[in-house]
Each structure stands twice: as C-alpha cells, then as structure tokens.
Amino acid sequence: MTTSSTTGPTSPRTDGKYARLLSPMTIRGNVLRNRMITTGHSIMAPWHPAGDETTYVDYCRRRAKGGAALLIAQPVNVEPFHDWPWPVVDRLKRLADAVHEEGALVTPQVVNFGRQIGSHVLLDERAEWSFNGGQDEFGEAAHRMTSAEVQLMVDAFGRLAEVFREAGLDGLELHGAHGYLLQQSYSPWGNGRDDEWGEQLAFSTAVLQAVRSGLGEDKILGWRMTADDQLREEENGLTAEELMDVARRLVDTGHIDFMNLSIGTKAPAYSQPAVASFRYPKGYDLELAKGLRDAIDARVPVVGVGGIVDPDMAEQALADEMCDLIGMTRGFISDPDMGVKILRGDEDRIRTCVRVAECNSRRVDGKVVQCWHNPEFGREARFAAVPAPARRKSVLVVGAGVAGLQAAEVAVKRGHDVRIVEASDHPGGRLRNILGTRAAELFGTVDHLVNELRHEGVRVEYGHRLTAAEIRALDFDEVVVATGAEHDLAAHGLDRPGIVSVDDAIVGELPEGVKVLVVDRTGHNPAGVAVEKLALEGHEVVYVTPFDRMVTNGGYNHRLDYQDLFRRSPLITAMTFKDLRSFENGKAMLVDPDGIESHLLGIDVVVAAVHPVPRDGLVHELDALGVTVHTCGDVIAPRGVTTATREATLLAQTF
Ligand SMILES: Cc1cc2nc3c(=O)[nH]c(=O)nc-3n(C[C@H](O)[C@H](O)[C@H](O)COP(=O)(O)O)c2cc1C
Ligand code: SF4
C-alpha cells in the first residue's frame, strides 16, 4: 500500500484526537490530505452534452472547501457511441479546477448500467447493452452484445479515461457494484456467455487495462466492489467468498489503487440497504470492509462506508484496521464543513446526518434532491452570495420547533440580536413525538440547533406564551411566528369516540391486545411510524390508504422499510385504495374509489393519519394589530422538516 504520513496539509489540532482520520495518504504520488472522502452519489442531472454542471461544481467545491480529501464525483456514463465524453471535457475540467483550488482531489465515478435502470438514462435512449440479454428489473428488454460490441464497450471505457486525463481529474472509480455492467460481467447472474467474454474476469481485466492506459500511471484508479450481492440462490449470484476472490484477482492486475465497496444488486432497490435509513445500525458495512481488506491482504487502501456519520466511529474503524479511508458521504451532504470542524476541534458543532435518507429517497423518487436539515444543499453559490444585513436588528422568534430554531440560528449567525420564546417546556415541536420510536435519531436535528444557539449565546425561553399585545409592545424589528401545527380531528370530521390522531398513537400507549385500524390519508411518514410502533408493541394493525401504494409520500427508503415490515409481520394487514367511511361500535366501514363499501369488525381504535392544522391564531391576531410578521414551517401549511429548515433559512436570509 502506498501511504505517507509526512505530506499534505496538517491539522491545527494539537490534542492528537482523530490522528488517524486526519493523517494524509499518498496514492500514486497524489496526496490525500486526510482520510475523509465522499463516495459517488448522483444528486443532479447526469452528465449530458446538453447539460450544465455549474450547480454541481459549486456543490463539490463546497465539500472540498469543507475539508474532504477526495471526492468521488457523481458518475459519468460510459457510452460506446459517438465521441462521448469529449463533449463535456471542459465541464469536467471546471470540476477538477474547483476541487483542486480547495485542496482536495476528485476522481468521478464511471459507470455503464448494462441491463439496469432503463434506456431513458442513455444518450439517444439506445437499448441497454448487456452480456446475456434478458430484461432489466423494470421489465425493459436488453440487448445481448456481440463480441465486437463488447470490445466497443471496452474502448469506450478507455476513451473516457483519456478524457478524464485531459480534463485534469485525479483519476476515476470504476463502478463494479450495484448490479451494473461490470458486476454483470463477473457474475453468472449477468454473464453466462460461451465466448471469450464469458471468462469471469475477461471484461473487467480488459476495462482495467484500457482505463489504465487512458489515465496514465500517475492517476488514481479505484474500484467499487460489491461485497454482498444480496441475490437469492436461484438468481445465480456470487457468494461472499466468491466476491472476495474476484476482488483479490482484480487487485492482482496491479491497476487498482483503492477498493471501495457497497452492497445490493438491483437498482434502485440496492439503495435500501446501501444508503440505509436509521433503521440500520451505524457503520453497517464496516465488517464487510474489514473482510475485503483481509481478502486483498491490505495491498491497496480500502474505503469503509455506510452510515459512518461521526468522527469517533471513523477514527475507531481506522484504529481497528477495518479500512484505510472513510466514506462519509451523507455526513458531508448534511454538513459540508464536517472536515474543517474536525480539523479545528469543533466536532461537537457538526450537523450530524440523522440518516433519514431523504436525499436518496428524493433521488429515487425523481424529485430534486434535498437534505432534510441542510438547506444549503444544491444552493451553494446562492447561499455564498447572500448579502450581509445592512444593520444589526432585534429579532423575535415565536416557537422552538424546527422552523423556529432554524430561523433563530440563521438570524443570530447573520449578526442579529435574537430572542426565541417557546410556549411549552421543551424544543422540537411535533418532531418530539418520534423520540419513543425507531426514528428517534431524527431528533438530532433539534439537538444540533439548540446547541448552535447556545454556542451563539441564545437560550430558548421555555414555558412562555407571548400574546399578540405583548409582542406588539416589545417592538422587535422582525417577528417570526413558527408555531407549527396541531391535530384537530374535528377539522376532518373525525372527532368520534375510538378515533385518535396519529400523533397520539405514536406518543401514547394503547392497552394490551387492542386491534387498531390506521387510516393513512396523507401518505406521509407518521402513518408508517405509527404502524411500525404499534406492531412492535404487539398490537394487531390493519393499515388502509386511499392512495395506490402504502405511505406513498414517505420517501423511497421508508416505503421499502415499511413494505418489509408490513409483509413480514403477521400482525399487519395492509390495503390500498381504501378509505374510512364510518366507525361505530368496533365496526369500521371502508370505501373504495368506486364507492363500494366493505367492513372490518372488532376494531378497538382507529388512528387517523390526517394532516394537523396550522396553529396560526397568533399570526391573525398580530395581523389585526397591524404588526408585520414573518412565518415559516408548518404554521403556513404542515409539510415537515425538510421544508421547515429550507423555508426558515430563506426567510432569515432576508433580514
Ligand atoms: C443521494 C445519493 C446518491 C447516491 N448515488 C450513488 C451513485 O451514483 N453511485 C454509487 O456507487 N453510490 C451512490 N450512493 C451511495 C453512496 O456512495 C454511499 O455508499 C452510501 O450513501 C452510504 O454511505 P453514507 O452512509 O456515508 O452516505 C448514493 C448515495 C446517496 C445518498
Ligand atoms: S437527507 Fe438525511 S440521510 Fe441524507 S444527508 Fe441529510 S440528514 Fe443525512
């Protein structure tokens, strides 16, 4: 392994904490200033001749500035047609320059999906090229490459490497996991040919040679290996031992400079365990990283990745020789300054990723990717350009839920004099409800904001309900009302005996043995969290929703987590296209979209998963008194934390 502990920028820390994490490493003469890296993550439109990666370059520059040593940038597709990717060489150069200016290295990921994902992501939407034809996981038929076409594909990998070299990138990572073309080539699941390309490592070896030749000897060539393909026996995948044997033989070629890993095969389903939610343990793939490192006798550095969100776990993993580099991908999504905070001893101020997987869920669901509590995500240049306030103002924030805390944090960091007042005796608003559930990690968002305010000298005033008249008399320059929302079943015509709100179901405890009907009319996570909690407590649960799928707005990762639970738990019955028409004496009358009724007997409690209503009385009272107020978060309309943090930030940037 080529490592060095004497080159590169060093930490201003003198306490020796995180000595391993902050130690540099040299790979083929390229100095990684520390061991923190981001692994490949697609967050914006893929590289395309007609694209514009300005926002993406800003995003990467920000992470480089924030202390990451190496960014494995989002994938560039390998296309065997035209002169791709020469049309994007200038943009790749801009990426390289931006990251280098901030002292980091950048090796984008390189992928051909083979018979996965769908032809809609390919240039000109040509057919998916594969080794054995068949179909992808969505049912699209794939093309079986001729022997000559396989060679064209190899050449395309080599051409891409030449373009990367020309662009001044530091190398690349070949995507040999997640079931894409390289994994297909070395797995009987994806290959099974009887020509020369049927030999297990024929394609990988040819690609490695072509890429090394295109890159030159001084650039970094990484490989992302699947450490567990998670295929069923009849799907003809490889065992863990066989995969490690492939890894060993790939390293034998001498072309690979680091080994990264991931798990799972079929996209996007692989991302449930590979970009896992808080339902999985932290550092969930570290044992696999250790296995890979052992299998290849630590001949090249191995990346440990998967739910490593804090520096203590990272340092321990290095100390235990489980890996040599640490992938902290969502860590840097959540807090781009994580590296510099660790470098300067401010690790207690990291906005730690709470593993809600909103980022991945939004990507898979085809929405603009956002982070649950980093509102700067994807707006890096815009945030950098926000002008400083003309003068220091007095700011009153009413409500210490996520929106209020966030508005207060941004305002105080902009130099304002901030007071924040909360009617209850604790922060967090409705997010507090999750504290007794498997989603408790999400409360880290609130803890972080309260901690930041404390560092800035602002203490939340609890147990103080300000009236509109008092607020007017206080005469603040800016007043922000972020009083959130609360359940009012009467507003939904559901204020009947035996019906409780989803919040009450999550927070409260039902007597043993009761049978519960959860009616999910919003499709949002509280319904899923309630079902999960009730079933884990041993209650029999029937879940119904008028939507076409369960917890439809919960986000991809959570839908899959719930589906697993709903499918596997003998206590849960789930039905879509069903709503509640009435509930009386244990009999729940359901109705489908055609108006056809069916009924359930023996229901003890109905949980109504409906939207809470904005707690906006104070807003109207202030309005009547002629006081100008700002609002953000659920008091406008209840939409959850991601919206609240973004809205509060954008608001507080205006004064
Ligand atoms: C939004 C998002 C997109 C991702 N896209 C990719 C990808 O294109 N290629 C890849 O190999 N992994 C991808 N990943 C997986 C990450 O590289 C990483 O393995 C995973 O997030 C677990 O590490 P973490 O817990 O440090 O985030 C993605 C992850 C996220 C959050
Ligand atoms: S969206 Fe959630 S999982 Fe993704 S980076 Fe932000 S906090 Fe972490």
Q: Give the atom of ligand 2 at the shortest distance from the alpha carbon of 309.
A: 8
**Cβ within 8 Å of residue 337, ≥6 positions away:** 66, 67, 350
- Residue of 307, 231, 300 lying closest to 269 (CA atoms): 231
The residue whose CB lies within 8 Å of the most ligand 2 atoms, and thus the one to mutate among 278, 358, 364, 370, is: 358
Distance of CA 270 from the midpoint of ligand 2 (Å): 17
Binding site membership of 42 for ligand 1 (Cβ less than 6 Å): yes
Given a cut of 50, the residues of the chain with pLDDT beneath it are 1-9
Counting from 1 in the atom list of ligand 2, the atom nearest the Cα of 358 is 1
Provide CB contacts within 8 A for 293, sequence distance 6+. Answer: 259, 302, 321, 322, 323, 324
Locate the ligand 1 atom nearest the alpha carbon of residue 177 and give its number: 11
CA 31/CA 312 separation, integer angstroms? 23
CA of 635 to the centre of ligand 2 (A): 24
Q: What is the residue-wise DSSP string for 190-223?
A: T---SSGGGSTTHHHHHHHHHHHHHH-TTSEEEE
Alpha-carbon distances, residue 158 vs 79, 212, 511 (angstroms): 11, 8, 65
Q: Count of alpha carbons within 13 Å of 177, Cβ hemisphere only?
A: 28
Dig out the tokens for 231 from the structure: 């295929």
Nearest to 330 by CA among 363, 366, 302, 305: 305
Pairing between strand 394-398 and 478-481? parallel
SS3 state at 287: helix
Q: Where are the alpha helices (DSSP H) in 216-337?
A: 240-252, 271-274, 286-295, 311-319, 329-334
Backbone angles phi, psi at 356, to 5 degrees: -80, -15
Beta strand 220-228 with 171-176 is parallel
With a 6 Å cutoff on the Cβ, whether 378 touches ligand 1 is no
Cα(67) to centroid(ligand 2), Å: 18
R_g of the chain computed on alpha carbons: 27
Cα torsion 111, 112, 115, 120 to 10°: value is 100
Question: Which of 270, 275, 288, 359 is the pocket-test mutation for ligand 1 (most atoms within 8 Å of CB)?
Answer: 275
Which ligand neighbours the alpha carbon of 40 most closely?
1
282 CA → ligand 1 middle, Å:
15
Q: For residue 213, how far is its CA from the centre of ligand 1 (angstroms)?
A: 28
Mutate to test the pocket of ligand 2, among 59, 351, 356 (most ligand atoms within 8 A of CB): 356
Ligand nearest to the backbone CA of 280: 1
Residue 447, pLDDT score: 98
CA 212 to centroid of ligand 2, rounded, Å: 35
Give the pLDDT confidence score for residue 12 in this predicted structure: 73
Q: What's the CA-to-centroid distance between 355 and ligand 2, angstroms?
A: 5
pTM over 0.75: yes
Q: What distance in angstroms lies between residue 353's CA and the mean position of ligand 2's atoms? A: 5
- Residue 62, pLDDT score: 98
Strands 540-544 and 572-575: parallel
pLDDT digits (tens, 9 = 90+) for 390-423: 999 999 999 999 999 999 999 999 999 999 999 9
Atom number in ligand 1 closest to CA 327 = 26
Name the DSSP class of 135. B
Atom of ligand 1 nearest to the CA of 369: 1
Among 522, 504, 520, 517, which residue's Cα sits nearest to residue 571?
517
Ligand 2, atom nearest to 370 Cα? 1
Q: Whose CA is closest to atom 20 on ligand 1?
A: 275
pLDDT at 11: 65
What was the pLDDT predicted at 379?
97
pLDDT, one tens digit per residue, over 441-464 is 999 999 999 999 999 999 999 999
Residues in contact with 414: Cβ distance below 8 Å, sequence separation at least 6, in sequence order: 388, 389, 652, 653
Instruction: Label residue 283 exposed, middle or buried (CB < 10 Å: 0-12, 13-18, 19+).
Output: buried
Please check whether residue 125 is in contact with residue 103, taking contact to mean a CB–CB distance below 8 angstroms.
Answer: no
For the chain, report the end-to-end CA distance as a whole number of angstroms: 53
CA of 288 to the centre of ligand 1 (A): 16
How far CA 427 is from CA of 409, 421, 422, 424, 462, in Å, comes to 14, 10, 7, 8, 8
